[in-house]
Every structure is written in C-alpha cells, then in structure tokens.
Amino acid sequence: MSTMKAWFSDSGRRVEVFMPSRYWYRPLTGRCCQACTPRSWDGFYHAHLSSLGFRSVTWVTEEDTRYRGWLVRQICCVLAVCGWKVLANTPRDLPERVCSSKRVQDVAASQACGCRGNSKFQQHWKEKVLRILAGIQAPLCLPMLRLCSWTLLRFLSHLFLSVQLHRGQLEMVLRAARTPGVPLVFLSTHKSQLDGLLLSFLLFSQGLGVPRVMVGDLTCSPLLRTLLGCLGAVFLPPRVEQASSTQDGELLAAVLASYVEEVLRSRQPLVVFLEEPHAPWHLSGPACVWLAPLYRAVRDGVVPDILLIPVGIAYDRTPDGFCRDGVQSAQPLGLGGCLWAACQALCRRFGCARVDLAQPFSLQEFVAKKLLCWSSMGKPLEELLPTILGMPSSQLDYSRAEDQEHRVTTSSKAEEEMMVTKMGLHALSDAIACSAVTAVGITSALLLHKHRKCVQLSQLMADFAWLLEETLLRQHDVSFSGQLRALVLHSLGLLRAHVTLYHLAPLGDVLVVVKDSAETRWELSRQSIQLVPVFGSEAVGACAIRALLVEMLPFVGEAPCPSSIIFSEDELHRKILALLQLLPPSLLGLKPCQPLDCHSQDVLDKLTLCGLLEAEEEGEHYLCDVPSWRLSRTEHWSNLDFSDSDSDSDDCHHKRCFRIREPKDSPGLLLFFCHLLKPVLVTYVRAVAFLEQHSWPQPEATCAGALQQFLAEEDGLECPMWNLALSTLQSFKNIGVLEETPSPSGPLLHLAQPFCSSEGRGKLRAFLEQFMQL
C-alpha cells in the first residue's frame, strides 16, 4: 500500500504521486489470549497467514468444480453447490437419545410423584419432550439446503461487491476441524439479521459442513420457522430464560442441554451470536442461555473439549438498515416480508462485506485457567460512587456488592453464570478485535470528528491515509485495498445521502460538504463507532487529560498553554480508571481478563507511544496534583520495597509526570481522540435528565424503550442509537445509579437512594461532563 500526495504543476494540471510507506501492511490479527489460553496460542495458527491473501466467497468459477469447459462456466454455480459436502448430520435417533438422557430422566422422575409406572404418564411425558425438541430443531432437508444455497449465492453476489474471507484464517479453521473428537463452535458478533444465513452459507461452501445456527428471541411465522429449521436454524424454547425454577422451565432447560450435548457429540459445528444486531457491546440473554450448555458439556465430560472460534463481521453498509427503535414488531417475521425486504435490498448497493475468523482456543483450557485465577478479580465498579458523589466510601452502602461476592463464593449456579459470562465477554472481545475496519467507517469518523462542515477531497484523502496508517499501526486490519482516491470516493458514494460534492473547476479538486441534519450525524456516528475499539485507549486517555484541565483551570486563573502543564501519574490514573469503570469494556476493545489498573497503565503507555504525552521531571511548572491515590486494593508496584534491589533511591519514590505534546505530523490528534467518545458521553449526560422525568420502578425493557424515545426527541449534537440507550442503562446499573429488584413479572429498575435528589443527579451530570470535549 502507499501514500498518495497531490499538488499542482506550473501548467495547472493536477498530479498524483504514490509514495510507499513502510508502515502500511496487513497485521496479524485474531490471536487468542495468551494469558487465558497459553497452550492454544501456538495451536492451528498458520505460519504464513498474512501471505495467503483473500478470496470472495460469492465469486464461483469453474475452478471450484471438478469439471471444465464452456458449459461448465455457464452453470458453475449449480455444479459447485451440488458438490458441497454435508460433513455431519443430526443422528436419526436423536429424539430417543434426548428422552433417555440423564438430565431429562431426572426431571421426569422429580415430576412423576408416584406415577413412574403409569404408562399414560410416561407417554404424556415423552410427547411433551418431543414437542419441545421439535420446537428447537428440525432435520436438515438437503435438496432445500442446496436450492437455498444457490439462491443465496446469487443474492449475495448482487447485494455486495464482494464477501471477503482470508485464506489463512480458513486454513487455520480447517486444520482445527480435523482435531479428532473435538467439535467447533463459532462465537460471532451480530451486525444484521442476514448474519445467520451469511455464516451458514460461508461455512457450508468452504468445506466446514452445515452449521447449526443458534437463533435467539427472533419471532417468526410457522412457515418461515420451518424453512429456517430445514436450513440448520436452532430456536430457543420460549420462556426458557424466565422460567428456570418452575417444572416446565426445568424440563425446557433439560431438553435444551441434552440436545446441545448430542449435537456436540455428532461434531456438528455450532454458530452462536453473542449480541443482538441492535444492541452490541454486551452479551445478550439468549447468548448466555446457549453458552451455558457448552460449559456444562465440557465440565461434565460429555465431550473432551470444544474449540471456540470468535468471528467478526464487517459491512460497508448494514444490509437490513438500522433498527432505529430497537424494538421488535408485534407481528412475527414472515416469509413474504423477508422476500419483500430482499427485493428492496437488491435495488440498493451495500458495498463490501468481510468475515474474519479468529484463532480457535480451547474451552477446557480457558475454564481451567479461570478457575486457577478466580481470585484475581478487578475492584468492583461500585467503588466509583464515592468519586461521583464526593463522599467517603464508608458513608455508602455496599451491602449489594457484599451479597454478590457471597453468592459467588457459595453458589455453584452463580459460579457457572460468572464463568459463562466471562467466556462470552472474552469471545466477544476477541471477535471485535479481529473485525476489520471499513473504508466507510474511516471516512465517517473524519467527517464527524474532524471536518464537520466541509473539506476538500485532497485533504480528506490525506487524512484518510493518516488514519489508515494509525489503524494498521495498532494491529487492526482493514476490509479494503486499492488506490486511495478510489477508496475515498467509494465511501462517499455509500454516504451520498448525507454529503454533497461540488467540483471546483479552477482548482481541479472536489469540495465535500456534510449535510447539517440529525440523520446525517446519526449515520456518521453509527459508522464511525467501529473505530472506538481501535483507538479506545487513546480516546480514554485524551478525555482524562481534558478532565484534568477542566479540574485545574479554576486554580490557575488565566488559562496557560497546555504544553506548559505537568500532570502527575497518580492523577492521570485516577481519571482514566474512573472512565474505564464507566464505559463498556467491549466498546473500548479491552480484554476482560485484565484488571482495570493494567488497562490504565496501558492507556498511559499508548498515549506516550503516539506522542501525546511526554515524560517530564517535576519542576517549576503548573502541576495538576492532589494527595496520592491508590490504584487498587494492593499497593502500587512503584511503592513496593524490593529488598534485593541495588537501587539507592529514597524511601519516597520520585513521582512520574507527563507533559502534553502535540505531534507535528498529526495536528489535532488530541481533539480527535476526545471526539471519538463524544456520542457515548453525550448520551450518558442526556440520560441524566431522563432519570429526573421517568417514573420508577420500571422493567428494563420498558425503561430502555422510553430512554431511546426520550433521546430521539431531544435536540443534540448526536442522534442516539438503540445500542447507546442500552449501554447507558447497563453502565448506570454497574456503577450503582440504577438498582435492580426482583418482582413476579420480572426484575425492576429503580433509582439508587443518592440519586433520588436533584443534588445527586447534578453531581452525576458534572462527573460525566468533565470528560466531554464541547
């Protein structure tokens, strides 16, 4: 790849020159966590993964068939689909296996109540189990599967310019599939309702077999449900999440667990979506339900191990548009509605799509490692409350946190829930980390956070090249290649509803004008959010620096130059940790296995590496410093006394200090990083006003819908998204602003006692606003 610069010759003709850049290369992404799965680190990873290149799974030629010739080229898609193999299928005696499994038999014995020998009861019980099993899955219909695969191949080739897959990643997964007796489970991000069909088609066409795609709470018509079941969809039984303690709920859970165990024994690949299309960044309820049987299967020795493969999906434009309200329609999704949506989609262009397969890792190794390191947990998020309210920790009630810790140590069910959650969050973090950044995402971030009104195309191309290089340097891959001008124009073409292009004839350039509307800001924010995991650490550090500047200005008087201010390391850590506790880890691309103080130190290191901070000795400068503050319950490493050290330092260690330094080759870098988190922080601040107007208590789903509607009606700089509304509620629950209480109809949310008053909500608003760059 190369950098393009443009200038004008003496004759007035525009000249473009490509200059090679040694930094532009495709990084090796998708490695598993070396801390949690050290033995899996070297497993299945291709030695020359980056050199194998890409292929489009929708581009089928005669090379993909066993035959050659002119006639073969005309019908190569039909021949290729007919040649795809179904490596494993559901056992024919699956109903009998599920009915005779120990889990189902134990539930039946507990419900028998002296009727064990009653033949009518046994028949009624078996029919009930078979009805539940029929609602979960259906046998694969191979003729229908091949017909739909051919139709989907033609549909995807018209919908996307290409659907890219890395050959090295595919070779890595194919090698893992040859492990004897170990099934594969793909844990994927969820960007669109088309993801299930796309992944099923991709795995089937690449020789990995027909996967069983785990469907969450999608409501379908009977006809559509039957069709999807024949293609490999597996549906979650109704009410299995809510009714776990009743007799029907126990039977549902037992049948579901037994079914998953039998599928794992038959080595059929499974696909589990970790999040909902309209609610990323945190595990969904259905994902936890699907992951729990996987954990139990390995724990109980049903299968020797399971290889988990995180999957990242990236679209230039999401195929099914945006779930603006985030609420499913009361009418079930029907086959006619799907066909009408497909016809509408064919009239539009969605650019390219990219599917990334991360390195497989062992579930057994992950569980064993987590059990050994169970005590190394980060400090609870409730400790952020004293910082927000400005009062000592002793004045707050931490009974809820103590109850949680007590349940974790005493209840095996709570231990299982925590392990499943950690496994899901870790896989979600890996899937987000391996997801490629699109050209539309980079262009949207520049138009939203750097050029809000207008910019010349030549300048936009230069900034695109700069941001692309910064992305690659942070070991994140991109989903595109080609000439720089073509990439930028391709992005602007997909954003044509939100930008206007004017040709500047005298200069030979193009003026890009961003439309001033809420829809434009909403779309650009939605697209640019994919850059937050790439620059999450730098964005948190930049917002922390901004908060320190706001905190110290009243004591300084006349505003000095930022480069003349010295920040102490303790103060930087304090602000960084406060923001890390507030934001979802998956949003920032952070590993959930590391404690927050490690993330805080990583933020400082990255700010130093990118040139925004420079180590400085303490001197006669403005010093933003307050009494020392501990990073965690244990003493900071620099305070420890190493008896075998040769250092002759004093008892009190010398404080590390930093100075703000703007890189010469990246002007405006600090402001750009501050703006990256602005859509999230603006939503949090505006949600404080919602807390004042909303009546409590309320169910979480009702509260999320009301919050999204409230945010949509407000006039702000960013139009809110449904995922931001859910993220706001989740963060407020984590830090203790909202509390959850059980009720017969489900858990209810209500305001915590300190925030029932306007004074407490004002402190929360002030705490959030300090991190925002206006």
Per CATH, domain 2-27+437-527 is 1.20.120: no
What is the tens place of the pLDDT at every residue in 511-569?
A: 999 998 888 888 898 899 899 999 999 999 999 998 888 887 766 555 556 666 788 88
Same fold, 536-631+653-675 and 677-774: yes
User: Residue 354: in which H helix or E strand, if any?
Assistant: strand 352-357
Residue 245 pLDDT greater than 60, yes or no: no
Q: Judge whether residue 661 has pLDDT over 60.
A: yes
pLDDT at res. 557: 55
Does position 91 have pLDDT exceeding 70, yes or no?
yes
pLDDT at 586 exceeding the cut of 60: yes
The fold of 536-631+653-675 is: Arc Repressor Mutant, subunit A (1.10.10)
In the predicted structure, residue 45 carries a pLDDT above the cut 60: yes
How far apart are alpha carbons 316 and 723 in whole angstroms? Answer: 19
Q: pLDDT at residue 609 above 60?
A: yes
Structural contact between residues 29 and 476, judged by C-beta atoms closer than 8 angstroms: yes
Segment 666-671 mean pLDDT: 81
Q: What is the pLDDT of residue 110?
A: 77
In the chain, domain spans: 2-27+437-527, 49-318+351-372, 536-631+653-675, 677-774
pLDDT at 432 over 50: yes
In sequence order, which ranges of 137-278 are alpha helices (DSSP H)? 142-159, 167-177, 195-205, 222-230, 247-265
Asked whether the CA dihedral 195, 201, 204, 205 is positive or negative, the reply is: negative
Whole-prediction pTM:
0.85
**Cα–Cα distance, 774 to 231 (Å, whole number):** 50
- Would you say residue 653 has pLDDT above 60? no
Q: What is the pLDDT of residue 699?
A: 84
Does 112 have pLDDT greater than 70?
no
What mean pLDDT comes out for the span 297-315?
93
Provide the pLDDT confidence category of residue 2 given band limits of 50, 70 and 90: very low
pLDDT of res. 564: 66
Q: Tell me the CATH number of domain 677-774, given options 3.90.550.10, 3.30.420.40, 1.10.10.10, 3.40.50.720.
A: 1.10.10.10
pLDDT, tens digit (0-9, with 9 covering 90-100), for 615-651:
875 554 444 443 333 333 334 333 444 344 444 444 4
The answer to whether residue 117 scores a pLDDT higher than 60 is no
Higher pLDDT, 725 or 627: 725
Mean pLDDT of the 64-82 span: 83
Checking 123-132 for CB contacts under 8 A at 24+ apart, the result is 126/99, 128/251, 129/95, 129/98, 129/99, 129/104, 129/251, 129/255, 130/95, 130/99, 132/237, 132/251, 132/252, 132/255
622: part of which helix (H) or strand (E)? strand 622-624
pLDDT of residue 279 exceeding 50, the answer is yes
Q: Strand, coil or helix: what is 257?
A: helix
pLDDT above 50: residue 727: yes
User: Is the pLDDT score of 362 beyond 90?
Assistant: yes
Average pLDDT over residues 384-408: 57
Element (DSSP H or E) covering residue 624: strand 622-624
pLDDT digit string (tens) for 261-271?
999 999 999 99
Return the exposure string of 584-604: e unless at least 16 CB atoms fall within 10 Å of the residue's CB, then b.
bbbbbbbbbbbebbebbbbbb
Asked whether the bond before 237 is cis by omega within 30 degrees of 0, the reply is no
Buried b (16+ CB within 10 A) or exposed e, 425-461: bbbbbbbbbbbbbbbbbbbbbbbbbbbeeebbbbebb
Task: Compute the average pLDDT of residues 487-515.
Answer: 90
Residue whose tokens read 């051919």 = 150
Q: What percent of the chain has pLDDT over 70?
A: 80
The structure tokens listed for 111 are: 């419900």
Mean pLDDT of 287-307: 92
Torsion sign across C-alpha atoms 483, 485, 486, 491: positive
How far apart are the C-alpha atoms of 554 and 268, rounded to whole Å?
64
Instruction: Give the single-character DSSP code of 565.
Output: E
When pLDDT is cut at 50, 70 and 90, the band that residue 247 belongs to is low
Under the banding of pLDDT at 50, 70 and 90, the label for residue 149 is: very high
Mean pLDDT for all residues in the chain: 80
End-to-end CA distance of the chain: 36
H helix and E strand count, the chain: 29, 21
The region of weakest confidence among 115-129, 241-255, 483-497 is 241-255
